[in-house]
Structure 1
Amino acid sequence: MASPDFATIAALYRHPVKGFTPEPLGEASLGAGRAFPGDRLRAVEIGPSGFDPASPDHISKMRFTVLARLPGIARVRTRWDEATDTLTVSAPDATDLTVRLGLAGDDRRLEAWLTDFLGEQATAPLRLLDGAGHRFMDDPAGAVSVLNLASVRDLSRRLGEEVDPLRFRANVWVEGWPAWVENDWTGRDLVLGEARLRVVKPIVRCVAAHANPDTGIRDIDVVSALHDLYGHRWCGLYLSVEAGGVLRPGDRAELI
């Protein structure tokens, strides 16, 4: 397939706590062999997840407070201050809470706040986990995720309703590639800003994308739509970082 036209980075997002609010960034500095900065640093387990901080390993997302299991957590808004490692949480009909992460008392206050918000959906004790370098990715190959906005628009057009790109919780949004061209790029290299990345594989979507990112209601069956319209369940790419560098909105996004 011919290389697509020159494209640019449209937006950058991190998700400091797995399953919670995407945070837009003005720039991100990628390191070779490392994950997207500030992304999935922590997670909230529901009952014992089996995570061992002394020997961290990949664990199924369904053991955590994620949209695939609890779509209503989309109604919780989180804001992380990296400099002070404080997290502020808010939700309708709840009092805002700000905690210093890593302090035992503050972690317990956050867990109690989330337990009150979830009510009966908190079917086991909640516990905030710090990866201490480990990233709580849906897939261990997912160091950086990239979303082609043209593909999302094509899905919206064929469905007859708008699909918000935030449903896909990607780190890098790209504008300028033809729709779905990225599905054939496994093993290819991309330049994003100053960094060079390698495509690991397309991202297989799950019911997390069904949840409206504002209301938490599962209002679009994205997985069935992808299968019925295109014969696959892909939307986006997982990449590894081969050579680090800074990327910003407006920077090039080019297939090598």
Structure 2
Amino acid sequence: MDALFVHPVKGLSAQPVDRVELRPGKGFPHDRRFAFARPDGRYRPGRHAGLPKQEFYALVSDHRLAGLDTHLDTETDVLTVRVAGHDVLTADLSTEEGRDAAVRFFTRVLDLPAGVMPLLAREPGRRFTDAAAAGDGPMGWISLVNLASVRDLESRTGTVVDPLRFRANVFVDGLPAWSELDTIGRELDLGGVRVRAVHRTRRCAATEVGPATGHRDLPVVSMVHRTYGHEFMGVYLEVLTAGVVAKGSGLVA
């Protein structure tokens, strides 16, 4: 399953892509372009500084979001939400009417109290990634998970772990398990694009949520900690050269 995924709306469904054009320092195109911010938090329209995940509605605290099947058309900004195979929302986020409809819908989904509504966050040129809280540079990182590491975790714990729990942009196969954690600071080849591994990805409670069920059903972080003595799964990459990466591309040192 060498694969590429984009998450256009923070906390909502991963969307597979066949190919992606990467540019130095620009991150994964369309990833986390939108987010639903907490109205009592620090996000306000026009804010450009990165914020931690706790300032947004996301899987780490709002697991019911995973029960929605969502798709954002990244060309038109039309968001579609399906539940049990039925469309329950179609909203054009490029229009005020569509944004209002999305906010009302997610107010109900999140079961917010009367008078409390999320803020639909979008800032041109910004991404609401977890790494972005650390500054402008990390905002342009892309996330990678080694599937051999996921399989090793499954084997050692006797569980089934859906790799999509880790919400990465790039899933690669063919590397030794956990070898990605030793690449920090090194330049690598990702399908013909030069990247640098810059940071190990520490995992949080969002990984406990089943991607298709919306249930918090597997203590992934504690499993990793008990088994390996750390809480990492995957690494962040900085893009160094421009190029197109296709589904099935590997990572080479």
Q: Shorter-chain TM-score category?
A: over 0.9
Pick from 52, 58, 62 the counterpart of residue 70 of structure 1.
62
Provide the residue aligned with 1:100 in structure 2: 92
Q: Would the aligned equivalents of 1:51 and 1:57 in 2 still touch at CA under 8 Å?
A: no
Matches of 2:111 and 2:148, distance apart in 1: 39
CA deviations on 1:8-51 (whole Å, 9 max, x unpaired) are x8100000001100000010000011110110001001214322
Code of the residue aligned with 1:66 in structure 2: it is: A
Change over 3 Å in CA distance of 1:40–1:158 after alignment to 2? same
Please report the RMSD computed on the Cα atoms of aligned residues, expressed in angstroms: 1.9
Pick from 147, 171, 175 the counterpart of residue 173 of structure 2.
175
After TM superposition, the score normalised by the length of structure 1 is 0.91
Code of the residue aligned with 1:40 in structure 2: it is: R
Code of the residue aligned with 2:19 in structure 1: it is: E
Q: Would the aligned equivalents of 2:191 and 2:251 in 1 still touch at CA under 8 Å?
A: yes
For structure 1, the 5+ residue unaligned runs are: 1-8
Identity in percent: 39
Q: Would the aligned equivalents of 1:202 and 1:234 in 2 still touch at CA under 8 Å?
A: yes
Matches of 2:17 and 2:242, distance apart in 1: 17
Question: Following TM superposition, by how much is the alpha carbon of 1:147 offset from its aligned partner in structure 2, in angstroms?
Answer: 0.5
Matches of 2:24 and 2:145, distance apart in 1: 20
Provide the residue aligned with 2:156 in structure 1: 158
CA deviations on 1:134-162 (whole Å, 9 max, x unpaired) are 00010122610000000000101111111
Pick from 9, 34, 38 the counterpart of residue 30 of structure 2.
38
Code of the residue aligned with 1:155 in structure 2: it is: L
Change over 3 Å in CA distance of 1:86–1:190 after alignment to 2? same
Matches of 2:114 and 2:52, distance apart in 1: 17
Provide the residue aligned with 2:103 in structure 1: 111
CA deviations on 1:165-219 (whole Å, 9 max, x unpaired) are 0000000000100100111111011111121111111100000000011111111
Matches of 2:217 and 2:85, distance apart in 1: 23
SS in 2 for 1:125: coil
For structure 2, the 5+ residue unaligned runs are: 133-137
Question: Following TM superposition, by how much is the alpha carbon of 1:90 offset from its aligned partner in structure 2, in angstroms?
Answer: 2.1
Q: Would the aligned equivalents of 1:40 and 1:136 in 2 still touch at CA under 8 Å?
A: yes
Question: Following TM superposition, by how much is the alpha carbon of 1:91 offset from its aligned partner in structure 2, in angstroms?
Answer: 2.5
Code of the residue aligned with 1:135 in structure 2: it is: R
Code of the residue aligned with 2:75 in structure 1: it is: A
SS in 2 for 1:236: strand
Code of the residue aligned with 1:233 in structure 2: it is: E
Provide the residue aligned with 1:218 in structure 2: 216
After TM superposition, the score normalised by the length of structure 2 is 0.92
Q: Would the aligned equivalents of 2:173 and 2:250 in 1 still touch at CA under 8 Å?
A: no
Matches of 2:46 and 2:20, distance apart in 1: 28
Per mean C-alpha deviation after superposition, the further-off stretch among 44-53 and 111-120 is: 44-53
Provide the residue aligned with 1:80 in structure 2: 72
Question: Following TM superposition, by how much is the alpha carbon of 1:92 offset from its aligned partner in structure 2, in angstroms?
Answer: 4.5
Provide the residue aligned with 1:204 in structure 2: 202
CA deviations on 1:87-121 (whole Å, 9 max, x unpaired) are 11123498521111131111011010111122148
Matches of 2:180 and 2:228, distance apart in 1: 14
Matches of 1:126 and 1:93, distance apart in 2: 25
SS in 2 for 1:119: coil
SS in 2 for 1:12: strand
Provide the residue aligned with 1:241 in structure 2: 239
Code of the residue aligned with 1:248 in structure 2: it is: A
Per mean C-alpha deviation after superposition, the further-off stretch among 134-143 and 160-169 is: 134-143
Provide the residue aligned with 2:250 in structure 1: 252
